[in-house]
Amino acid sequence: MLSFQSSKNLLSLTEDLLVRIYELLAAESDRKSFRLVCREFRRIDTLTRRHLRVIRIEFLPILLRKYPRLQSLDLSACPRIDDGVVSLLLTRVGPGSNSPILGHWAWGLKSLVLSRATGLRFSGLEMLARACPCLESVDVSYCCGFGDREAAALSSAVGLRELNMDKCLQLTDVGLAKIAVGCSKLEKLSLKWCMEMTDLGIDLLCKKCVDLKYLDVSYLKVTNESLHSIASLLKLEVLGLMACPLIDDVGLHFIERGCPSLKVIDVSRCEGVSSSGLIFVVRGHRNLLELKAGYCLSQELSTALLHQMKNLNHLEVIRIDGARISETSFQVISANCKSLVEIGLSKCLGVTNMGIMRLVSACINLRVLNLTCCHSITDAAISAIAYSCRSLVCLKVESCNMITEKGLCQLGSFCLLLEEIDLTDCCGVNDKGLEYLSRCSELSCLKLGLCTNISNKGLSYIGFNCLKIHELDLYRCTGIGDDGLEALSNGCKKLRKLNLSYCNEVSDRGLGYIGRLEELSDLEMRALHKITGVGLEAVAVGCKRLADLDMKHCEKVGDSGFWALAYYSKNLRQINLSYCGISDMALCMVMGNLSRLQEAKLVHLSNCTVEGVELALRACCVRIKKVKLFAPLRFMLSSEILEILHARGCIIRWD
């Protein structure tokens, strides 16, 4: 099979053929190998790369120089990006005048993700907007300090189609006006939590950006007047109004005759909205695809609303969490909304087995079903769901404690596409039930919190069969111990998120098995009284991608574990060490060495002195963003360190 004739090797193929091969290598590890083979292959990699997500800011200039044809750049994982860095990237770099211009990477750039880049300010943004003439999509969400000047900087990107400014807390109507005037081609805009927005800003936006298809004003204190303005958007398809306190039925009346293209509306948690308001929406939009009205209907769905809903034949998603459901509601929905793919009935009153059975026998294409806290549901309903809805992907039945292994047996037999199931607080789940459930080999998210009747045996079935699991919640599953974790680590190699809090039987041996899970990034292990430094060391050494660690109340863990953490866990971003026995030195090492640490909870460290905590805070003050400290320390720490932290934008919470 091997041939070494150099005249006929792969390199004699033309460039487009090599590009064809390269594009079929989807996995990043394969592309990395490809890059290393020879110069020609590296050149192909360079030419073809369109998307880049950078984690280490030190490599940014080199990478940008290498990849001149980028279309999409994601810098959200580089927390220290600031105006100085941007300036560096866009201008000549290097001692001589022969150095290449770095800025040409920006010429073709279409998409820029700068989420959480809190160090960036308007001058940096302005440079970026000017340097990238093809820019179409920008994400500056969670840049909490961003305001009107930043918005003005962004408005110079006239080709902008998509903009995400969630949680840009300082943004006001003035800034929004600049964007509305400058970026008139805007199609998608998200302004969640931009609390300074008022009706004036929304009104101007709707007058200027007539091509808007997607608008999210959730949580804003806008009034019905905004809905009057929004109603004029002829192309609007998706409208987000979640938890808007000042919106009510009167405002929704404007939507009835407006927004002719509306397909998706979310009025969850709007206290002023009732059945009447929903009637207006439904009456005007028979082609509605998604209706999300969770936690706003405290009474029953009125007969008038149900009557209107008979016309929603294309409805795919309905969420009426927290409402009171009657038999009539089930009848109307099952008779008329057969295209439903997602149904949300979390915390609804009146959900019965009969109702569910009627619903699922009609909605056979159901993929997502949320029955959290529908306590009357039993195995009969689960069986009906399993039998009718073979395409089911996500099932949430938290607190439905009458479900037993009989229901899970049906799920394991029929719903083989199931990926996510939430069985938190379902005390009827036992090892037999897990054996049946493990037949769903596509499972990727499994929540078994508070299921006290499961043991290592049940977990071993999961470890054997459910190899695609990403997330596993075993909160307070006191029957789980080291043997269960052994089975888990053997099979579930893709596990990323694991919760073992209060699983008291877990010891260092169990953590040794956890150390084998190379993909693990999120680990919660509160109050594990048997583990010591040895166990923590195993996790630190093995789980190289660990980013979030919560070990509150793990009092027996000694310094050897913390030293290992400080040395190995370079990807750690968040840590909770409250009530742990860490010493001053180890705390200083952890806070100082872990260069990506951004959030730390350090309440009640009994082995630490005030000076020790102060030193640790000084060691990390450059990059730490949020820290939680023991309340009495407020008066014991020097005012200097508190000022430094405050000046750096670090949020301190006192407990």
Least separation in angstroms between CB 56 and other proteins: 5
Applying CB under 8 A, does 50 fall inside the site for other proteins? no
Question: Looking at beta carbons only, is 4 or 635 nearer to other proteins?
Answer: 4
Contact pattern for other proteins over residues 484 through 523, marking x by CB under 8 A: ----------------------------------------
Which span (24-32, 394-402, 554-562, 575-583) binds other proteins, by CB under 8 A? 24-32
Applying CB under 8 A, does 595 fall inside the site for other proteins? no
The DSSP result for 124-184, as a single string, is HHHHHHHH-TT--EEE-TT-TT-BHHHHHHHTT-TT--EEE-TT-TB--HHHHHHHHHH-T
Which span (37-45, 83-91, 596-604, 644-652) binds other proteins, by CB under 8 A? 37-45
Applying CB under 8 A, does 622 fall inside the site for other proteins? no
Binder to other proteins among 15, 38, 101, 207 (CB under 8 A)?
A: 38
Give the pair of three-digit tokens for residue 606: 């009994």
Applying CB under 8 A, does 35 fall inside the site for other proteins? yes
- What are φ and ψ of residue 629, in 5° steps? -125, 160
Applying CB under 8 A, does 28 fall inside the site for other proteins? yes
Applying CB under 8 A, does 8 fall inside the site for other proteins? yes
Which span (36-44, 374-382, 420-428, 436-444) binds other proteins, by CB under 8 A? 36-44
Least separation in angstroms between CB 24 and other proteins: 4
Applying CB under 8 A, does 647 fall inside the site for other proteins? no
Least separation in angstroms between CB 549 and other proteins: 19
Contact 151, 176 (CB under 8 A): yes
Binder to other proteins among 5, 97, 299, 639 (CB under 8 A)?
A: 5
Dihedral sign for Cα atoms in the order 421, 424, 428, 433: positive
Applying CB under 8 A, does 15 fall inside the site for other proteins? no
Q: What angle do CA 654, 595, 109 make, to 5 degrees?
A: 110
Residue 170 forms beta bridges with which residues? Answer: 147
Which span (10-18, 184-192, 210-218, 623-631) binds other proteins, by CB under 8 A? 10-18
Question: Looking at beta carbons only, is 42 or 221 nearer to other proteins?
Answer: 42
Least separation in angstroms between CB 97 and other proteins: 24
Applying CB under 8 A, does 635 fall inside the site for other proteins? no
Within the chain, what is the greatest distance between any pair of CA atoms? Answer: 80
SS3 (DSSP) at 218: coil
Quote the DSSP letter at residue 302: P
Which span (47-55, 101-109, 391-399, 559-567) binds other proteins, by CB under 8 A? 47-55
The three-state DSSP-derived secondary structure of 526-558 is CCCCCCCHHHHHHHHHHCCCCCEEECCCCCCCC
- What are φ and ψ of residue 43, in 5° steps? -65, -40
Contact 459, 487 (CB under 8 A): yes
Residues 328-367 touching other proteins, rule: CB under 8 A, are none
Compute the half-sphere exposure of residue 571: CA atoms within 13 Å on the CB side of its CA. Answer: 18
Which span (32-40, 176-184, 241-249, 263-271) binds other proteins, by CB under 8 A? 32-40
The three-state DSSP-derived secondary structure of 282-301 is HHHCCCCCEEECCCCCCCEC
Least separation in angstroms between CB 590 and other proteins: 22
Residues 224-283 touching other proteins, rule: CB under 8 A, are none
Return d(Cα 113, Cα 446) in angstroms, integer.
31
Least separation in angstroms between CB 639 and other proteins: 39
Return d(Cα 239, Cα 217) in angstroms, integer.
8
**CA trace torsion 158, 163, 166, 171 (10° rounding):** 10
Binder to other proteins among 12, 98, 299, 639 (CB under 8 A)?
A: 12
Question: Looking at beta carbons only, is 9 or 313 nearer to other proteins?
Answer: 9
Contact 231, 253 (CB under 8 A): no
Return d(Cα 267, Cα 210) in angstroms, integer.
22
Question: Looking at beta carbons only, is 53 or 207 nearer to other proteins?
Answer: 53
Question: Quick one: which of 500, 510, 516 has its CA closest to 532?
Answer: 510
Question: How many residues of this chain bind other proteins (CB under 8 A)?
Answer: 40
Question: Looking at beta carbons only, is 55 or 134 nearer to other proteins?
Answer: 55
Number of C-beta neighbours around residue 270 at 10 A: 25
Least separation in angstroms between CB 633 and other proteins: 36
Least separation in angstroms between CB 14 and other proteins: 7
Least separation in angstroms between CB 134 and other proteins: 22
Least separation in angstroms between CB 25 and other proteins: 5
Binder to other proteins among 13, 354, 534, 585 (CB under 8 A)?
A: 13
Which span (46-54, 260-268, 375-383, 574-582) binds other proteins, by CB under 8 A? 46-54
Return d(Cα 280, Cα 273) in angstroms, integer.
11
Question: Looking at beta carbons only, is 35 or 468 nearer to other proteins?
Answer: 35
Question: Looking at beta carbons only, is 300 or 442 nearer to other proteins?
Answer: 442
Question: Looking at beta carbons only, is 73 or 613 nearer to other proteins?
Answer: 73
Residues 52-71 touching other proteins, rule: CB under 8 A, are 52-56, 59, 62-63
SS3 (DSSP) at 609: coil
Q: CB pairs under 8 A, 24+ apart, for 143-147?
A: 143/114, 143/115, 143/116, 143/117, 143/118, 143/167, 143/168, 144/118, 144/168, 144/169, 144/170, 145/118, 145/121, 145/169, 145/170, 145/649, 146/170, 146/171, 147/171, 147/172, 147/175
Which span (13-21, 107-115, 319-327, 339-347) binds other proteins, by CB under 8 A? 13-21
| Element (DSSP H or E) covering residue 264 | strand 264-266
Applying CB under 8 A, does 653 fall inside the site for other proteins? no
Question: Looking at beta carbons only, is 65 or 208 nearer to other proteins?
Answer: 65
Least separation in angstroms between CB 42 and other proteins: 7
Applying CB under 8 A, does 9 fall inside the site for other proteins? yes
Contact 112, 138 (CB under 8 A): yes
Distance, C-alpha 561 to centroid of its chain:
30
Give the pair of three-digit tokens for residue 106: 């920006």
Applying CB under 8 A, does 286 fall inside the site for other proteins? no
Binding site for other proteins (CB under 8 A): 1-6, 8-14, 17, 20-21, 24-25, 27-28, 30, 32-39, 41-42, 51-56, 59, 62-63
